[in-house]
A and B are shown apart, each in its own frame.
Chain A
Amino acid sequence: QKEVEQNSGPLSVPEGAIASLNCTYSDRGSQSFFWYRQYSGKSPELIMFIYSNGDKEDGRFTAQLNKASQYVSLLIRDSQPSDSATYLCASTHGGSYIPTFGRGTSLIVHP
């Protein structure tokens, strides 16, 4: 059974701080990893993807992948109240038709 695990939270951070969201996966064959942001009542939107070990930066967001330890993380620098949302982690396996989603971590950024 392929699984992606996330702490449901909520993770509460003050405005301006770094928010660190973590995700672990069970399938060693997983190749690609995606972070989606989902505001309450809205659909998920892709914010980051990563395929290779190491860090990938895009603006205030950094995705980190460690395939040996089977974890993926998302760092949000200078967190803003508008970052308050649920963050979904997903993985795909080469040749798989179905991404595996975690249940999401709720992030609250308070002023």
Chain B
Amino acid sequence: DGGITQSPKYLFRKEGQNVTLSCEQNLNHDAMYWYRQDPGQGLRLIYYSQIVNDFQKGDIAEGYSVSREKKESFPLTVTSAQKNPTAFYLCASREQAGVSSYEQYFGPGTRLTVT
């Protein structure tokens, strides 16, 4: 079964701790994305990657970091510098970043709660 997996589904952390969210895809997609969604809000882009070993900041990258060492993996680290990290985090992938007709596929999401 091809798809995107995110783990864990729910994550609880204390304030001041860094936490890493996992995202793996076996769709052989080139591009991968991280979004944040707050209640009643749309999707806000955190980081995206078009190819391995390359990534770019999205609209709200402050307090987050990513890596893209393998095509299938794009982990997101939420650092202690992120002021309001509690949110629903969505990972997505797309076959080719620069082709307009390709849709994004989303993982199931990770709900992060920081107290």
Contact = CB atoms under 8 A, between A and B. Distances in A.
Contact-residue bracket for chain B? 20 to 34
A53 B101 CA distance: 14
Contact of B101 (A32, A36, A88, A101): A32
B105 A46 contact: yes
A101 B42 contact: yes
A99 B104 contact: yes
Contacts of A32: 100-101
Interface string A41-70: 111111001010000000000000000000
Contact of A103 (B41, B90, B105): B41
A95 B98 CA distance: 4
Interface of A: 8, 31-32, 34, 36, 41-46, 49, 51, 88, 90, 92-99, 101-104
11 contacts: A31-B101, A32-B100, A36-B106, A43-B90, A43-B107, A43-B108, A49-B103, A94-B99, A95-B100, A97-B48, A98-B33
